[in-house]
C-alpha cells in the first residue's frame, strides 16, 4: 500500500467446460500476471474452476472431486502469492451443493462463502443444482482443517487495517438488499463479486450502473469479475465484463469479449475519510459476522508502505472541473443558476429593488456581477 492506495485485480481466465485441470492452470497463469502487476486482492469469476455452464455435470461426483483437487492445487500455488484470492467453484456440504467462493491467502484456505440468492428465472436454472447460502456461519472440514462457511465472513488484513474484504456472488448484487450492504455496515471496505453474467442487448450498461451505484451507496471499492470466452454457448454468451469501481466511479473496465487481467488501485484512505464525513454512515463490528484476519502485522523491519506501487488509474489534476467542454459549460451554468436563485430569495426577503456592486476587475466581483445579471 502507498498513500492509502492498494492494488487490486479482476481476472477472467480462458476455460474449458468441466475440465478442472485445464481451468486451474489458466487461473494460475492469470494470478501470476496479476501478482507481477502488484495486486494484493484478486477476484476470479463464478464457478471458474469447473466452468459456469456445466449444467447436469454439477451433479456428478467426478466433477466435484476434480473441483476439490483443483482447489488444493490453487492453495498450494498460493503459498508464494502475497494476495487475497477469491475463486469460484461448486462445493458439497451435508449432501447439498453450493455455489461458493473459496478465499485463499499464502497457502491457506481462509473461508468459503456461498452464494446467497440462487436465480431460477428467465435464462437461469441454478436452483436445479444449488442451494441458497444462509447467514449462519458454520464450519466445514477441508484437508483435515476446519474452515468457516457462510455469507457473513469479512477478511481483514493485519498490516492494512482499512483493508476489509467482503464477498457476494453474481445474483446477490441484483436483489433488493444485496449482502454487500450488511458487509459494509459491519466494516468491509472492499467487496468482491464473482460473477457469470451473460450478455443480452444493453445489459452491459445496466450491469455497470449496478456496480457503480452499489459502490457509491456503500462508499466502498467494488471488484467485479465475470465469466468469459470458453463457457458453453448452448444457451448463453459471456463477455468477461470486468470492472473495478470506487465510491460511485468505475475507475477501470475491461474490453468485453476479451478474457484477461484488469488491474487498478483502490484509495482506502479516501473511502474511510468519506465514511467518517457522512454522519448517517454507521459502521460497527457485529457479532453475527465472523472476522478473519490474514497477513502479518507491521513491524520495524516490515512496513505496509510499498514504495514500488505505481498508479495505473487516472487522477484528474482538476477534479472539480470537467474536461469536456459541454460538461464544463453545463456545470458552470448550473453554478450560476444556484447562486442566482439564492440571491433572488435574499433580495425578495429584504425588499431590495436594486443592487450596487463594486467591480474591481477580479474574479470574485466578476462572478457577483454575472450572478446578479442572471
- Tell me the whole-structure pTM to 2 decimals: 0.91
E-state strands within the chain? 5-11, 41-43, 84-93, 96-105, 108-114, 138-142, 145-149, 153-157, 164-169, 190-195, 221-226, 243-246, 249-253, 261-267, 290-294
Nearest-angstrom CA–CA distance, 199 and 240: 10
pLDDT at 68: 98
Q: Would you say residue 302 has pLDDT above 60? A: no
* 370: three-class secondary structure by DSSP: helix
Q: Residue 307 — very low, low, confident or very high, per pLDDT cuts 50/70/90?
A: low
Domain extents for the chain? Answer: 5-294, 325-373
Q: Would you say residue 256 has pLDDT above 90? A: yes
Average pLDDT, the chain: 94
Average pLDDT over residues 361-371: 89
**DSSP assignment string, 220-272:** SEEEEEE--BTB--SS--B----EEEETTEEEEEPPTT---EEEEEEEHHHHH
pLDDT at 115: 98
Q: Would you say residue 300 has pLDDT above 80? A: no
Per the listing, cell 466445514 goes with: 140
pLDDT at 276: 96
Nearest-angstrom CA–CA distance, 3 and 41: 17
> What positions carry a catalytic annotation?
46, 115, 170
Superfamily for domain range 5-294: Carbon-nitrogen hydrolase (3.60.110.10)
Nearest-angstrom CA–CA distance, 359 and 224: 53
Specify whether the CB–CB gap between 60 and 93 falls below 8 A.
no
Average pLDDT over residues 241-251: 98
Measure the CA dihedral 20/21/27/33, to 10°. Answer: -170
pLDDT in tens, 117-153: 999 999 999 999 999 998 889 999 998 999 999 999 9
pLDDT at 225: 99
pLDDT at 319: 79
Nearest-angstrom CA–CA distance, 264 and 244: 7
What are the percentages of helix, strand and coil residues in the chain, rounded to 5? 30, 25, 40
Specify whether the CB–CB gap between 83 and 294 falls below 8 A.
no
pLDDT at 28: 98
pLDDT at 305: 55
Nearest-angstrom CA–CA distance, 310 and 193: 25
Q: Tell how far CA 95 is from the center of its chain.
A: 31
pLDDT in tens, 45-79: 999 999 999 999 999 999 999 999 999 999 999 99
Amino acid at each position: 500500500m502507498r498513500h492509502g492506495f492498494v492494488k487490486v485485480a479482476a481476472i477472467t481466465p480462458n476455460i474449458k467446460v468441466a475440465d478442472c485441470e485445464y481451468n486451474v492452470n489458466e487461473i494460475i497463469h492469470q494470478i501470476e500476471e496479476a501478482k507481477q502487476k502488484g495486486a494484493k486482492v484478486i477476484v476470479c469469476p463464478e464457478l471458474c474452476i469447473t466452468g459456469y455452464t456445466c449444467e447436469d455435470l454439477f451433479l456428478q461426483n467426478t466433477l466435484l472431486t476434480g473441483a476439490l483437487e483443483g482447489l488444493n492445487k490453487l492453495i498450494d500455488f498460493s503459498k508464494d502469492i502475497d494476495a487475497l484470492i477469491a475463486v469460484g467453484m461448486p462445493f458439497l456440504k451435508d449432501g447439498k451443493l453450493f455455489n461458493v467462493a473459496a478465499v485463499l491467502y499464502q497457502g491457506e484456505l481462509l473461508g468459503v462463502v456461498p452464494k446467497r440468492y440462487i436465480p431460477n428465472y428467465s435464462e437461469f436454472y441454478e436452483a436445479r443444482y444449488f442451494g441458497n447460502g444462509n447467514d449462519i456461519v458454520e464450519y466445514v472440514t477441508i484437508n483435515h482443517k476446519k474452515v468457516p462457511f457462510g455469507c457473513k465472513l469479512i477478511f481483514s488484513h493485519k498490516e492494512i487495517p482499512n483493508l476489509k474484504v467482503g464477498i457476494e456472488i453474481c445474483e446477490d448484487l441484483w436483489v433488493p438488499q444485496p449482502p454487500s450492504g450488511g458487509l459494509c455496515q459491519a466494516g468491509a471496505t472492499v467487496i468482491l463479486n464473482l460473477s457469470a453474467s451473460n450478455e443480452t442487448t444493453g445489459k452491459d450498461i445496466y450491469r455497470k450502473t449496478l456496480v457503480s451505484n452499489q459502490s457509491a451507496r456503500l462508499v466502498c471499492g467494488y471488484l467485479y469479475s465475470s465469466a468469459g470466452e470458453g463457457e458453453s454457448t448452448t444457451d448463453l454468451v459471456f463477455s468477461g465484463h470486468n470492472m473495478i469501481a470506487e465510491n460511485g466511479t468505475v475507475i477501470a473496465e475491461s474490453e468485453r469479449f476479451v478474457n484477461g487481467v484488469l488491474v487498478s488501485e483502490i484509495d482506502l484512505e479516501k473511502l474511510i475519510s468519506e465514511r467518517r464525513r457522512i454522519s448517517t454512515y454507521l459502521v460497527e463490528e457485529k457479532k453475527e459476522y465472523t472476522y478473519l484476519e490474514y497477513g502479518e502485522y507491521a513491524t520495524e523491519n516490515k512496513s505496509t508502505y510499498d514504495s514500488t506501487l505505481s498508479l495505473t488509474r487516472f487522477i484528474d489534476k482538476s477534479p472539480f472541473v470537467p474536461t469536456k467542454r459541454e460538461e464544463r459549460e453545463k456545470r458552470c451554468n448550473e453554478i450560476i443558476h444556484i447562486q442566482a436563485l439564492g440571491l433572488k430569495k435574499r433580495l425578495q426577503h429584504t425588499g431590495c429593488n436594486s443592487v450596487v456592486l463594486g467591480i474591481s476587475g477580479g474574479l470574485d466581483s466578476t462572478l457577483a456581477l454575472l450572478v446578479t445579471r442572471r
